[in-house]
Amino acid sequence: MKLVTYNLNGIRSAISKGFVEWLVATDADMIALQEVKANIDQFDRSLFEALGYHLYWFAAQKKGYSGVAILTRHLPQHVEYGCGVDVYDYEGRVIRVDFATFSLLSVYMPSGSSGDIRQAFKMEWLSDFQDYIDTLKQVIPNLIISGDYNICHRPIDIHNPKSNANTTGFLPEERAWIGRFIDSGFIDSFRYFNSEPHHYTWWSFRAGSRQKNLGWRIDYHLVANSLKDRLVRSVILPEARHSDHCPVLVELN
């Protein structure tokens, strides 16, 4: 079973850059999308249905902003839209599909890059999201939480950790949070298979950052410890260029 997470930075833009053709070649079973920036009626959904995907969509109330989705070739038993907190659900940040043996979440975490107010919002979100998952995993222990976390965990996950030490996305309190979150019962699936540096999932549009591979690893598949024995591989796919992010794949038995 192949799962992909991908922040598209706009599904309509991604489609115009060959995203559908890339999906055909990748042949993933499920794709967790973030920053879709569109309602489901604003693009041709038949492009994906023709590939055998069911589409589950949770757009932000604000047009052209945020939003998450899941494409799956397997019908879920249940779909949960949002996390039950209005201030986050207004921004379209969480969607979950439940199957018999696991649940997949697509999550788009706040960035905090626009200033102190949004950074404070991000920190509140992190605390509330931990509480949400702590409660959820008591009922659904086999969680796969895929998406854009907007946090680099360790120095190996960012091209210049010293100069970014006080930058949102690599702040000590953010790094501490994701460390605690992983320790609460999850595996960073990419790092489970790969401990090498220079593997990133997002690059600034400025100064040729992507060409120089001056990036950040902020997109993750965090897999419940209970699913450890089902992990087969996880790889970052930087050759996909439909966004300022690139997709990450995890494969499970």
Q: Which active-site residues does the annotation give?
A: 148
Planar angle of CA 102, 11, 218, nearest 5 degrees: 60
d(CA 141, CA 151): 24
CA separation for the pair 92, 70 (Å, rounded):
12
Q: Which residues are within 8 A (CB) of 91 and not within 5 positions of it... i.e. 6 or more apart?
A: 60, 61, 62, 65, 66, 110
User: 126-138 burial string, b = 16+ CB within 10 Å, else e?
Assistant: beebeebbeebbe
